[in-house]
Amino acid sequence: MADAALPALSYQQKNLKQFRETFLTTFRQIIFLVAFFAVALIILRVPAVRLAFGTRRFTWESTVATGYALSAFAVGIVAQALTSLLVKSFYALSDTLTPVKVGVGTVLVNITLSACFILVLKTPVWGIAFAFALANILQMVVLACLLAAKAGIALWQMIYPLLKVGIASFFSGGTMYVLLKVLDRSAWDRRLSFLGYLTLPERFEKFVLDTRYTVNVIILTVVVAAVGIAVYLLAAKLLRIKELSLIHELSSRLPGLAKVTPPPHATGQESELA
């Protein structure tokens, strides 16, 4: 999306009003489309890792450690996506030096944070991933502030959509977290998280999944993700996030869903068209 917006942004560099409109529209669209996937990776980190690496030689400890690293990386996904747009926007304004300076600073911050997490705070390997995510978030914030000053964009125009999508993502993520725990038999057996000392009701036995088996893990992941998407879209509708129309637009372009010109019914029409 950032690449697709670059030609329009470059053409509008002398008309800052149009430039701002194009940038903010793409900015909101990226947030709306990417935020859910970031939250889904954070919540579904363990099922995702188990499906990707769940062999006998990949222990449960390795799965948990990799899952934490995945969720730490996911924290910075939205920032990475927005950074791509911000960098392209500077290019459109014929400013290639600012992104380079900020990028070099981001690398230094990343190295410093990684050293602090690992050497000082003694965190596991997810500390490196989290340092990377924090550095990306900082890069996005700095670039956004600099671009706002350069192009005359009000910061609230970027913060407000972030907050609205953040609220929708929070409800979606919370729903996925609860559903993931409730439907996973191992969560009841190990009395994990919010389940505390609750025991599995006998009548509920047939609804939970034994996630020792790959098929059940796939079913659990798909069901939780589907419910999460539904909650995310519902929250977006309640919050009046206008980028919700993107879903309808994208779905209409899928093969078999887009409307095409119906074939003629009369023989004469067929002959004329031929």
Using one digit for the tens of pLDDT, what is the confidence trace for 128-161? 999 999 999 999 999 999 999 999 999 999 999 9
Number of structural domains (the chain) is 1
Q: Does any domain span residue 164? A: yes
8 A C-beta contact, residue 101 and residue 44: no
Q: What is the pLDDT of residues 192-207, one digit of tens each?
A: 545 555 555 555 555 6
Helices (H), the chain: 2-11, 16-43, 45-53, 60-74, 77-92, 97-115, 126-151, 156-183, 185-190, 214-238, 245-252, 267-273
Show the domain range for 128.
2-253
Q: Does any domain span residue 189? A: yes
Q: Does any domain span residue 262? A: no
Q: Does any domain span residue 228? A: yes
Q: Does any domain span residue 206? A: yes
8 A C-beta contact, residue 173 and residue 187: no
Digit-by-digit pLDDT tens for the chain (274 residues) are 888 888 988 988 888 899 999 999 999 999 999 999 999 999 999 899 988 887 777 888 888 899 999 999 999 999 999 999 999 999 999 999 999 999 999 999 999 999 999 999 999 999 999 999 999 999 999 999 999 999 999 999 999 999 999 999 999 999 999 898 888 776 665 555 455 555 555 555 556 666 777 888 898 899 999 999 999 999 999 998 888 887 767 666 666 555 545 555 544 444 444 4
> What is the pTM assigned to this prediction?
0.81
8 A C-beta contact, residue 225 and residue 44: yes
Residues facing residue 184 across a β-bridge: 209
Which residues lie closer than 8 Å to 104 by C-beta, 6 or more apart?
A: none
Q: Does any domain span residue 222? A: yes
Q: Does any domain span residue 144? A: yes
8 A C-beta contact, residue 152 and residue 89: no
Q: Does any domain span residue 264? A: no
Measured torsion, CA atoms of residues 228, 232, 233, 237, in degrees rounded to the nearest 10: 150
